[in-house]
Structure 1
Amino acid sequence: MRTVCLLRVQVAAETKPASHLLEKFYSGSERVRMGMGQMRTMPLASPAWEHAEHWQALLDTSGEGIWGLDLEGRCTFVNRVAASALGFRAEELLGVDLHELVHRHPARGARTECPIYEIFRGNRPARQLADTFFRKDGSPLAVALSSEPITVEGRVRGVAVALRDVTRSRQQDEALRKLEKQAAVGQLASSIAHEINNPLESITNLLYLIRQTETMSDVQEYARLAQDELARVTAITLQTLRFHRQYSRPVEVDLAELLNAVIVLYTGRLLVRGVTVELKLEDAPKIFCIEGEIRQVVNNLVRNALDAISEGGRLFVRLHVQRDWRTGARGVRLIVADNGEGIVASILPHLFEPFQTTKELTGTGLGLWVSKGIVEKHGGRIAFRTRGEGGDVPDRHGTVFAVWLPVAPAASV
């Protein structure tokens, strides 16, 4: 019984079926397992299928780019979609080290750091990884790639890779993130205007009292109070500037200081609504992150909690050291909780998807989606628990969001 394998390799100047080489490793009665589904050797139904062109035609019918690599990283087969997406002709890719040609990132460097080659080191398949390749003209190509090992009798002989061009969807995601940031800026500007107006009103009243008083001791007391109110305005302004400050690289950030700064922006709103804030910030190591992005996450969570709390409610903010239970990596855990009405059950399965909101008039539905992306970009995780009013325990309702962030910067930051 003869066999044929869905591979092509470049041998000298001639393209031949990969079975030409694989005959060295397995006999015709043995099986070949290949990723992206299960492929086994089979008897030839027709002599026509002995021709590599028929296998290539089958590959070219796929709507996704597909190629294969041997253990040295050389391209053993490629379909039309993959070659076209990368701007090459198929003949230019066969037999070539594809990592060096289209996947080498200046920051990543060596092939040993390439996610595709994780298969060779640990026989671990990849599923829909977001990555960037480079076309023949040097332009970037945003892709989602999957890869699985090609094994012969339990031994890895190569890897099969499938990729999908996600450039357009990535651009759309980026546009949505910008939209959310613009919405957040508008909401923050409204809050800041309210916060600044309160001390300015106090200063106006104190200046009036200074003009009316006849004793120097009263003048000095009123002047001291006015100075305190001006200091409050200065603090709010500085925190606002820090909120909008942009960093392209991760910096060392004290999360406790950042949390306090965000709470300051909502002081007036908390007082007017009689909301009690319970801060419990333990000593925690500074983390390396893009400060503006993490500040945006914290602001989103605090603002959402305040929107859910009724007058006289409670806001809980916690920070403590915690290791990742899966990897043992050092990190910190941030908790923002409220005793509001909880999240509507119908939204829960889609909570971190775009345009999911309980604030129909004022919300964009992008805040949690953006926040999740930022947290995961930093190598962290975000989770939540919620309980609505009218449950088994009437006094226990609200929502808890927990964010874990590593101390060391993630490779994607």
Structure 2
Amino acid sequence: MCAANLELNQLRVLLVEDNPDDAFLLERHLRRSGFALEMIRVETASEMLHQLKRNLAPDVILADYNLPNFSGPAALKLLNSTGLDIPFIMFSGAVSEETAVDAMRSGAHDYISKQNLTRLVPAIERERNEAATRKNRLAAERALKASEARFQSLVEALPLGLLISDPSGKIVYANFAVERLLGYSESKLLSGALTLSEISPILTEHLHRLVVTSINFEPFEIACTTVNGQTVDALIGMSVLDSEVADSSRQIAIFVADLSLQKKSEEVIRRTEKLAVAGRFAASISHEINNPLEAVTNCLYLVSQSELPSDARHYLDLAQKELNRVSQITVQTLKFYRASTKPTYVDLHELIETVLTLLESRLRQMSIEVTRDLAAQPTLFAHDGELRQVLANLIGNAIDAVPEGGRISIRSRSTRDWASGRDGVTLTVADNGLGMDPDTRERIFEPFFSTKGITGTGLGLWISREIVANHQGNIRVRSRRTSGENCGGTIFRIFIPAQRESAGAEEVQRVGEYNIPTDADTAAAGLS
């Protein structure tokens, strides 16, 4: 006999039998039928259980119906309690139809008479084949479950969001990436209360066309609505999962890629390009105005040599100081990010009064009330010309923003930045003007962005922020647009350290958002 046939006819039998003669006849019958037999006989439940716990389980169990201390039905019950899938064939000397039916109902695979063993071999072969089929099917089911579990884990771990929807737009599945992106909980997404149209109406439009045509779209960008009502940019891909079924039963997979980081990167690149253009533009302008500045400086010098009244002499000195500041700004602009002069100890309050004196005619013309609440220790180690430029920009913008008869509040306090632990001065410039909408507020520090039409350059606030940053401080803004009975207003708040960090520290340090506008600031700006 070849090796393949020998392996095929290997048979391990567990025999539950108390009669050695019957066991001998049974063994001889099976060997004559061509089986390479390994048969173990047991008579008690403990012996049977011991054999079932062996590593090599039997191929079939043959059990006599009646034994002195055991029985075929008891053996079958013991096998079922182990959970093993082993063919069980009951046999007995006298077989009644009722006994056979009871045995089959209890789970026996067949019932054979000891007087007629001709059915035994076919029954064993049949049950072995069926057991092998069940084993293969169970293995396939386990493999399928394992594959589904791996796929589920993979989908849940994907950084790419996945939604599955029915044709009506009801969400039937959502992975964790979608929950993280949109902020909805799993229960909310799958409850049926949330549909694709609430995430984006555009999704519903594409969904209906896709269900009818089954033609996949090219990926497209949309703004998805999150749980808190905000929007997030996303790239969407859609595909029909089961195009062979009826339209009403189809499911659609919707892939959602978060574009927020990409949009931010594009915005950074856009701003960087604007900065480069601004730098070249500023350098060009500063170069062109150097010659006329020199001529004006000479003229002022000649005027200063003449006999002048004290008031005229005072205004001449102010003009000379401002001209010196313009000259300093032009030189600084050529270098742009490096300070043009060495910092000195300056009096912030004196700078404020100087700027207000220069703007006094505009303030008087528009009947604007200026309130001062200057309680800070004013001495700072800074570039006085640069700080004067910042103050002129902020107060000048406030004058442009308020209506005739408006109010501007200037407030200073000695404070500490708790993020760095550094002492300094906080200066607040607040007005009760029209205020700004959120879109405008987001862009006011961009170069060349202006709300003043042809009269504005769009560089004032951008340069002011760079100056404050170079002084290792920060500048913040809070604004509310006038709407109906709600008054608007704007608050600019800057923090300047009293002492700059020693050389070797970073030249530009962004201070954290810890200096929150106070109630007094809010009231002064009309934002209370």
TM-score, normalised to structure 1's length?
Answer: 0.45
Larger helix percent: 2
Larger CA Rg, structure 1 vs 2: 2
State the structure with bigger RCO (CA 8 A, min sep 6), 1 or 2. Answer: 1
